[in-house]
């Protein structure tokens, strides 16, 4: 199977996700116009663009929170269009949010355990009767949640604290752990380092790379911080005004005059 | 003027307004019939004093904006001033009612009210007395800020308990007789209230107990936690055994009249536990919960009563119950489906409508052939093998309450409970985390309906007749109010809430005309002082008391954020 990227003619042999001519219209506003997009399996791919370029809108269509006006999105040969968010999670797409959205008045551990919900089998009547199988599954989930907290570097000291009381950086880590708990094959990260200081940002970048290797993930991230994007991405897609502006390796994007212009305005190409 | 002093005077005026209000609506007069301390203090006389105490407590406390904390002596002075202002208003009210006759519009503004406000003295002495007493009460209220925390707590709990025990006189006396402690009766109780000795003793014992718990409570808990597991298990078993024995013997201990009240409380506990699943766990504000109560009662009546108009299989109660539960769960799904996409306020309004529709349907001519319209359905049989008398029907109610509490507890700590909580916290994120919010909403409605309908079924068999008027909005509001009062999302809170909001008013029937007023005051006071409820679940507590901190923290962090892209080439 071969698909060509619109601008640079890339071919991808093994795509975990592909979007064909995805258009999203809100009344008269076109947030995404015929975006073609491919994520190679096992890669780390970034989606960048100035504020208002339609990145998060695009993200929301991949996760089922918005339905595209037209176009097609397939994940491992299954169409995602028309599916609800929880079905897409079940297929193996996990996500985090730009503005952290944890379940604030639940414990840190419970937040991660909620993430594992789709992989659990306990029925409501099984839970009601506390069947042995249900209790065993509950215990296994708790163990798994603790492992994930370790993995993202959250101290176990916090596990019974309220999610909302965690420091900012730890909230980002927790959100990551919650997304991982659903055992995704593709992880979508919406600005994972937003609001972090340089030290935390570096740690997060390392963490994302390590998770990809350890858990066999494919990662798509939206990111503003170019240092992060250039350091982590294998391929970068640039959106501007809802349209695909460029696609390529980090070095190609860095050198692309239209990308620099989109970010810094006309005349900045020489800077 | 000193802002604290200004606040004290304003608060005092508010206290005066409160006393004026309860005086003019006749509450003081009505409460005059009950003694708190026999021959010393009637309940009617106590009310203005309690208000002055509260005013003093408010006046003497720390102020938020501008941030001012009065010194100890200043606090007491402020409290006394606040109380005195209240006293002045009371004296003015008494003077007004004796000089101007406004009885044609305010029937309670009579000389007898003035006499009560003046403690039966003349205008001059009475006015001076009421100002002095109110000032003293205000100072005492302010003193609660001055004394150490555990002492203040002990005094408050002791005082409130003593007043409550005095109020409960007829019932406590009945209980004492039932358990063969008549001896105590003469020491503690006079006709209509506690004796002075009794009041002091009750106050002293509860205050001392509260103080000891405040000082030693944590230590005791740690000691229990440090005990070897087998001893702890034995201890637990002993506690459970005693609790079980108490619950089983309760109807015999309290007698028939109180058992009736206990039964009603039980029905509301069931309702509360069911509504708590919908509102407390899943965060779906359902104001039409009475619909399920009604469906439970009517289905039971139709299936068991020989007088059921159209269809009357005359099943025994426990034979009918499975059908009742299934019917209610189906209705729950029916109600739940159209409101799936609604959130918050919109959901509340629509469910409110459903509740009313249910009542009107049962009343309608259209449904009359099946459910009897306004005539209702008569002769619903008792739940054989149990009888209908309060001491017998208590047992099935107790059984279902325990069943419901255990079920709610199991669900709370499970995959299902977590999914509900996640939905309550943030519905769209819950969906994006993999929770099928449609299924879980319907499940909450269905299970909530099941609990509610069992309560309705027991209600029908307990009363023996079913009429549409029994299922008005007030049932929904009561059920909601009791879980708010008890503590949203917490099972023990539901029980406490039902005892306070349903049990107390049942015991104080003679004051029932003021029931809604007291209800309102209690709920407003709760929202101001303890918004998380009496026994909050941990999450509600966190939500309501730590939000401010969390928000501050978030704003600090957000200040560092820059939305601008950083291009480093």
* pLDDT tens figures, A47-103: 998 888 889 899 999 999 999 999 999 999 899 999 999 999 999 999 999 889 999
Q: Which residues fall within 8 angstroms of residue B200, CB to CB, at 6 or more apart?
A: none
Task: For residue A194, give the chain B residue with the closest CA.
Answer: B561
In angstroms, the separation between the Cα of residue A196 and the nearest Cα of chain B is 8
Instruction: Say if residues B195 and B37 touch (Cβ distance below 8 Å).
Output: yes
Look up the pTM and report it. 0.84
Residue B182: Cβ-neighbour burial (10 angstroms; 0-12, 13-18, 19+): exposed
Cα–Cα distance, B302 to B106 (Å, whole number): 48
Percent of chain A at pLDDT exceeding 70: 93
In angstroms, the separation between the Cα of residue A198 and the nearest Cα of chain B is 12
pLDDT at A146: 94
Q: Which two tokens stand for residue A137?
A: 């599954």
* Greatest mean pLDDT among A100-114, B155-169, B180-194: A100-114
Q: How sure is the predictor about B5, in pLDDT bands with cuts at 50, 70 and 90?
A: very high
In angstroms, the separation between the Cα of residue B514 and the nearest Cα of chain A is 37
pLDDT at B510: 77
pLDDT at B276: 94
Q: Do A106 and B539 touch (CB under 8 A)?
A: yes
Is residue B226 scored above 90 in pLDDT?
Answer: no
What is the total residue count of chain B?
A: 569
pLDDT at B541: 58
pLDDT at B540: 57
Is residue B222 scored above 50 in pLDDT?
Answer: yes
Q: Do B565 and A89 touch (CB under 8 A)?
A: no
**In angstroms, what is the C-alpha Rg of chain B?**
27
Asked if B244 reaches chain A (Cβ–Cβ under 8 Å), the answer is no
- 3-class SS of residue B381: coil
Q: How sure is the predictor about B549, in pLDDT bands with cuts at 50, 70 and 90?
A: very low
Cα–Cα distance, B84 to A229 (Å, whole number): 70
pLDDT at B467: 93
Strand pairing partners for B194? B37, B189
Asked if A42 reaches chain B (Cβ–Cβ under 8 Å), the answer is no
**Mean pLDDT across chain B:** 86
Q: How sure is the predictor about B176, in pLDDT bands with cuts at 50, 70 and 90?
A: confident
Q: Which of B24, B19, B21 is nearest to B109 (CA)?
A: B24
pLDDT digits (tens, 9 = 90+) for B368-419: 888 888 888 998 999 988 888 889 999 999 999 999 999 999 999 899 999 9
Q: Do B557 and A124 touch (CB under 8 A)?
A: no
Cα–Cα distance, B466 to B458 (Å, whole number): 11
Cα–Cα distance, B431 to B422 (Å, whole number): 9
What are phi and psi for residue B274, nearest 5 degrees?
A: -70, -45
Can you tell me which residue has the tokens 């071919």? A11
Instruction: Say if residues A126 and A136 touch (Cβ distance below 8 Å).
Output: no
Can you tell me which residue has the tokens 């399996």? A41
Contacts of A85 in chain B (CB under 8 A): 428, 431-432, 434
Instruction: Say if residues A109 and A147 touch (Cβ distance below 8 Å).
Output: no
Instruction: Say if residues B401 and B266 touch (Cβ distance below 8 Å).
Output: yes
Instruction: Say if residues A56 and A20 touch (Cβ distance below 8 Å).
Output: no
Q: Do A95 and B432 touch (CB under 8 A)?
A: yes
Task: For residue B428, give the chain A residue with the closest CA.
Answer: A65
Cα–Cα distance, A13 to A43 (Å, whole number): 12
**Mean pLDDT across chain A:** 88
**In angstroms, what is the C-alpha Rg of chain A?**
19
Nearest by CB: B550 against A103, A134, A165: A165
pLDDT at A227: 84
Q: Which two tokens stand for residue B526?
A: 């709760």
Q: Do B436 and A85 touch (CB under 8 A)?
A: no
pLDDT digits (tens, 9 = 90+) for A213-226: 999 999 999 988 88
pLDDT at B542: 56
| Alpha-carbon torsion angle A151, A152, A158, A162, nearest 10 | -130
Chain B segment 345-364 residues within 8 A of A by beta carbon are: none
Please state whether beta strands A235-240 and A243-248 pair in parallel, antiparallel, or not at all (unpaired): antiparallel
Q: Which of B193, B203, B195, B200 is nearest to B166 (CA)?
A: B193
Cα–Cα distance, A186 to B116 (Å, whole number): 77
DSSP assignment, residue A224? S
pLDDT at A1: 37
Instruction: Say if residues B527 and B565 touch (Cβ distance below 8 Å).
Output: no
pLDDT digits (tens, 9 = 90+) for B119-145: 888 889 999 999 999 999 999 999 999
Convert B468-502 to b/e letters by CB count within 10 Å (16 or more is b): bebbeeebbbbbbbbbbbbbbbbbebbbbbbbbbb
Residue A189, H or E segment: strand A186-190
Task: For residue B409, give the chain A residue with the closest CA.
Answer: A128
Cα–Cα distance, A41 to A1 (Å, whole number): 13
What are phi and psi for residue B503, nearest 5 degrees?
A: -65, -55
pLDDT at B165: 86
Percent of chain B at pLDDT exceeding 90: 46
pLDDT at B166: 86
Nearest by CB: A130 against B410, B433, B549: B410
Q: Which residue has the higher pLDDT, A263 or B205?
A: B205
Asked if B403 reaches chain A (Cβ–Cβ under 8 Å), the answer is no
Percent of chain A at pLDDT exceeding 90: 61
What is the total residue count of chain A?
A: 271
Q: How sure is the predictor about B432, in pLDDT bands with cuts at 50, 70 and 90?
A: very high
Q: Which of B43, B192, B194 is nearest to B184 (CA)?
A: B194
Q: How sure is the predictor about B520, in pLDDT bands with cuts at 50, 70 and 90?
A: confident
Can you tell me which residue has the tokens 């025994």? B316
pLDDT at B562: 38
Q: Which two tokens stand for residue B565?
A: 């892209």
Cα–Cα distance, B412 to B306 (Å, whole number): 40
Q: How far apart are the first and last CA of chain B?
A: 63
Q: Which two tokens stand for residue B69?
A: 């904390």
Asked if A117 reaches chain B (Cβ–Cβ under 8 Å), the answer is yes
Residue A258, H or E segment: helix A257-264
Q: Do A127 and B417 touch (CB under 8 A)?
A: yes
Task: For residue B541, give the chain A residue with the closest CA.
Answer: A105
Cα–Cα distance, A33 to B327 (Å, whole number): 50
Asked if B557 reaches chain A (Cβ–Cβ under 8 Å), the answer is yes
Q: Do A103 and B421 touch (CB under 8 A)?
A: yes
In Å, the largest CA–CA distance within chain B is: 92
pLDDT digits (tens, 9 = 90+) for A120-175: 999 999 999 999 999 999 999 999 999 999 999 988 888 888 898 898 889 999 99
pLDDT at A11: 56
Q: Which of B144, B161, B163 is nearest to B152 (CA)?
A: B144
Per DSSP (E only), the strands in B200-344 are none
In angstroms, the separation between the Cα of residue A119 and the nearest Cα of chain B is 9
Q: How sure is the predictor about A208, in pLDDT bands with cuts at 50, 70 and 90?
A: very high
pLDDT at B290: 94
Q: Which of B479, B477, B496, B504 is nearest to B536 (CA)?
A: B496
Contacts of A124 in chain B (CB under 8 A): 411, 416, 443, 447
Determine which of A125-129, A201-205, B223-227, B309-313 has the lowest per-residue pLDDT on average: B223-227
Q: How sure is the predictor about B558, in pLDDT bands with cuts at 50, 70 and 90?
A: very low
What are phi and psi for residue A148, nearest 5 degrees?
A: -65, -40
Cα–Cα distance, B80 to A45 (Å, whole number): 71
Q: How sure is the predictor about B327, in pLDDT bands with cuts at 50, 70 and 90?
A: very high
Is residue A3 scored above 70 in pLDDT?
Answer: no
Q: Which of B416, B43, B452 is nearest to B271 (CA)?
A: B452
Q: How sure is the predictor about B560, in pLDDT bands with cuts at 50, 70 and 90?
A: very low
pLDDT at A266: 65
Q: Which residue has the higher pLDDT, B334 or B39?
A: B334
pLDDT at A268: 54
Q: Do B416 and A127 touch (CB under 8 A)?
A: yes
Instruction: Say if residues B293 and B478 touch (Cβ distance below 8 Å).
Output: no
Q: What count of other Cβ atoms lies within 10 Å of the Cβ of residue A11?
A: 11
pLDDT digits (tens, 9 = 90+) for B249-297: 988 888 888 899 999 999 999 999 999 999 999 999 999 999 999 999 9
Chain A segment 52-71 residues within 8 A of B by beta carbon are: 63-65
How high is the ipTM of this complex?
0.90
Asked if B428 reaches chain A (Cβ–Cβ under 8 Å), the answer is yes
pLDDT digits (tens, 9 = 90+) for B48-86: 999 999 999 999 888 887 888 888 889 999 999 999 999
Q: Which residue has the higher pLDDT, B531 or A171?
A: A171
Residue A113, H or E segment: helix A108-115
């Amino acid at each position: 199977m071969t698909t060509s990227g619109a601008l640079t003619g890339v071919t991808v042999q093994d795509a975990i996700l592909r979007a064909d001519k995805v258009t999203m219209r809100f009344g008269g506003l076109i947030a995404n116009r015929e975006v073609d997009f491919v994520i190679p399996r096992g890669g780390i791919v970034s989606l960048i663009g100035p504020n208002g370029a339609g990145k998060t809108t695009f993200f929301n269509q991949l996760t089922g929170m918005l339905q595209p006006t037209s176009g097609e999105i397939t994940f491992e040969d299954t169409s995602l269009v028309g599916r609800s968010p929880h079905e897409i999670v079940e297929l193996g797409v996990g996500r985090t949010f730009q503005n952290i959205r944890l379940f604030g008045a639940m414990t840190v551990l419970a937040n991660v355990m909620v993430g594992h919900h789709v992989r659990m089998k306990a029925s409501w009547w099984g839970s009601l009767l506390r069947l042995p199988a249900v209790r065993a599954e509950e215990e296994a989930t708790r163990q798994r949640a603790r492992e994930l907290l370790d993995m993202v570097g959250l101290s176990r000291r916090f596990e019974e604290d309220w999610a909302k009381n965690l420091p900012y950086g730890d909230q980002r880590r927790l959100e990551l752990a919650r997304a991982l708990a659903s055992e995704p094959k593709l992880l979508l990260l919406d600005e994972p380092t937003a609001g972090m200081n340089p030290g935390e940002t570096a740690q997060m970048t390392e963490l994302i790379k390590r998770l990809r290797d350890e858990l066999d993930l494919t990662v798509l991230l939206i990111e503003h911080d170019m240092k992060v994007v250039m350091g982590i991405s294998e391929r970068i897609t640039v959106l501007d005004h809802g349209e695909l502006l460029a696609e390529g390796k980090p070095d190609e994007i860095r050198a692309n005059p239209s990308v620099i212009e989109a970010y810094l305005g006309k005349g900045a190409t020489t800077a | 003027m000193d802002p604290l002093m200004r606040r004290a005077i304003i608060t005092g005026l508010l206290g005066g307004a409160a006393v004026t209000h309860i005086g003019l609506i006749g509450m003081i007069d009505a409460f005059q019939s009950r003694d708190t301390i026999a021959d010393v203090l009637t309940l009617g006389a106590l009310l203005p004093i309690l208000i002055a105490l509260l005013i003093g407590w408010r006046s003497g406390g720390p102020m938020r904006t501008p941030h001012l904390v009065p010194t100890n002596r200043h606090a007491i002075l402020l409290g006394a001033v606040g109380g005195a202002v209240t006293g002045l208003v009371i004296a003015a009210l008494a003077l007004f009612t004796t000089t101007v006759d406004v009885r044609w519009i305010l029937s309670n503004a009579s000389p007898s009210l003035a006499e009560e406000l003046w403690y039966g003295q003349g205008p001059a002495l009475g006015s001076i007395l009421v100002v002095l007493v109110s000032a003293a009460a205000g100072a005492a209220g302010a003193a609660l800020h001055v004394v150490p925390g555990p002492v203040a707590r002990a005094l408050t709990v002791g005082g409130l308990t003593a007043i409550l025990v005095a109020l409960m006189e007829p019932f406590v006396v009945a209980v004492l007789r039932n358990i063969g402690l008549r001896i105590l009766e003469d020491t503690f109780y006079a006709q209509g209230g506690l004796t002075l000795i009794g009041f002091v003793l009750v106050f002293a014992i509860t205050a001392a107990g509260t103080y000891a718990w405040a000082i030693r409570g944590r230590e005791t808990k740690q000691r229990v936690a440090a005990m070897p597991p087998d001893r702890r298990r034995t201890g637990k078993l002993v506690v459970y055994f005693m609790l079980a024995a108490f619950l089983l013997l309760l109807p015999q201990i309290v007698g028939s009249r109180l058992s009736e009240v206990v039964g009603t409380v039980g029905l509301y506990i069931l309702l509360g536990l069911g509504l708590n699943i919908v509102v407390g766990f899943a965060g779906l504000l359902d104001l039409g919960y009475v619909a399920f109560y009604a469906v439970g009662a009517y289905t039971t009546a139709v299936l068991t009563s020989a007088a059921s108009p159209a269809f009357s299989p005359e099943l025994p109660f426990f034979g009918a119950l499975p059908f009742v539960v299934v019917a209610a769960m189906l209705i729950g799904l029916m109600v739940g489906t159209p409101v799936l996409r609604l959130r918050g306020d919109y959901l509340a309004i629509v469910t409110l409508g459903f509740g009313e529709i249910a009542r009107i349907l049962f009343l309608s001519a259209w449904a009359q052939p099946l459910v009897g319209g306004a005539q209702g359905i008569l002769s619903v049989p008792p739940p054989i093998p149990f009888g209908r008398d309060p001491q017998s029907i208590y047992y099935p109610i107790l059984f279902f309450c325990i069943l419901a509490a255990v079920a709610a507890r199991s669900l709370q700590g499970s995959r299902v409970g977590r999914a509900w909580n996640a939905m309550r916290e943030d519905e769209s994120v819950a969906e994006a985390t993999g929770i099928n919010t449609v299924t879980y909403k319907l499940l909450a409605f269905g299970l909530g309906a099941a609990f509610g309908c069992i309560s309705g079924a027991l209600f029908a068999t307990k009363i023996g007749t079913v009429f549409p008027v029994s299922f008005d909005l007030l049932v929904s509001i009561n059920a909601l109010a009791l879980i708010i009062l008890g503590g949203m999302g917490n099972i023990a809170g539901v029980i406490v809430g039902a005892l306070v909001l349903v049990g107390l008013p049942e015991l104080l029937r003679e004051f029932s005309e003021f029931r809604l007023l007291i209800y309102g005051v209690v709920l407003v006071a709760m929202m101001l002082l303890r918004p998380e409820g009496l026994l909050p679940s941990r999450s509600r507590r966190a939500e309501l008391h730590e939000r401010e901190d969390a928000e501050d923290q978030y704003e600090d962090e957000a200040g560092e954020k820059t939305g601008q892209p950083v291009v480093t080439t």
